[in-house]
Amino acid sequence: MMERSSPGSSQHTFCAWAGLADPNETCPAFTVLSFGSALVGTNLEVKLMLYTRQNEDCAEELNSTASKYLDLTKKTTFIIHGYRPTGSAPVWIRLDPAGPLYRGKPPSERLDPTDAQFVDVIHSDTDGLGYADALGHIDFYPNGGTDQPGCPPTVFAGLNYFKCDHQRSVFLFIASLKKSCNITAYPCYYAHEWKSHLTQQSHPVTNMYFDTADEEPFCLYHYFVDIVTWNKGTRRGMLSVVLADGTGKKAESKVNHEAAAFRQYNHISLLVGFNQDFENITRISVMFSTGSVVGPKFKLRILQMRFRSLSNPER
């Protein structure tokens, strides 16, 4: 976390997070927990770690108010993971709340919207250590809530395979506070439908979905690709898109959409995302793939194609 400034105000932020800014400086680290700790629980040991502009990537652990970074005249925000106070707090932000031992429990025994005046939840590991169902007034599901980009895909990566998706919620929240770029989320009832229903919502929805890049600041710049093809037969596959500007810079789409069915003269819209944005796009390259390593290779004959920027709709 970092100290942030806005007109007329500034603040400190505390969180359980570790980085390494100076190789000669030892930074406080997360408590090392085993996989079993997520199932049986741990004893509560609170640590306060201070981040400011002077130490963005290496926290100072606070044992008292005697600190070279802490200024008590500034607004201070505490982000607490794993602690449930009594009473009704104004706002709770829950980062991938635990699933094991809580799935199927009644609201009185798990997180619930009545626990605070406003409960904001980020779900990043719903098929592992996290909880899949909506638990708050608003629930965010980055990358559908599972399989975060950049995390190991198999168990052969060791412990990181089990914790990477779960911890991503913390990194996403930290990145959102830094405000180096905007992450836009879209409402939808079901995770598997959100990319094709961005413009079709007519009722209030509290489940929000968005895609991210595989590293900080995690932002993606989204485009709708509207395509009409004229192949006589149906072609089923995926598109990879590369954008280029006049300087030669390129960006390849980072959103792995599900295979789409391209039928003759039918209009289809796909959502693609890029980790950088170009103000003046001079070239667009599209590659079609069936995803199959055997069988014939098909061409996708494009009759019409249009790009629409969701990040900058005025373009």
Rounded Cα gap, residues 251 and 214, in angstroms? 14
**One domain for residues 282 and 197:** no
- Domain boundary pick from 210, 239, 257: 210
Position 16 scores a pLDDT of 38
Domain boundary among 210, 245, 270: 210
Q: Is the pLDDT of residue 58 over 90?
A: no
Q: Which of 149, 181, 210 finishes a domain?
A: 210
Q: What is the pLDDT of residue 6?
A: 36
- My answer on whether 117 and 227 are in the same domain is no
- How far is CA 259 from each of CA 14, 80, 131, 308, rounded to the nearest angstrom? 43, 40, 27, 20
The answer to the question of residue 99 being in a domain is yes
Q: Do 64 and 112 sit in the same domain of this protein?
A: yes
Instruction: Tell me if 314 is assigned to some domain.
Output: no
Position 192 scores a pLDDT of: 61
Whether 29 is covered by a domain: the verdict is yes
Is residue 45 domain-shared with residue 189, that is, in the same domain?
yes
- Domain assignment of residue 280, given as a range: 221-309
Side-chain half-sphere CA neighbours of 306 within 13 A = 8
pLDDT tens-digit profile of 169-213? 999 998 888 877 888 888 876 666 666 655 444 445 589 998 898
Which CATH number does the domain housing residue 294 bear?
2.60.60.20
pLDDT score recorded for residue 203: 46
Domain count, the chain: 2
Q: Are residues 91 and 199 in the same domain?
A: yes
- If pLDDT is split at 50, 70 and 90, which confidence band does 168 have? very high
DSSP β-bridge partners for residue 251 = 243
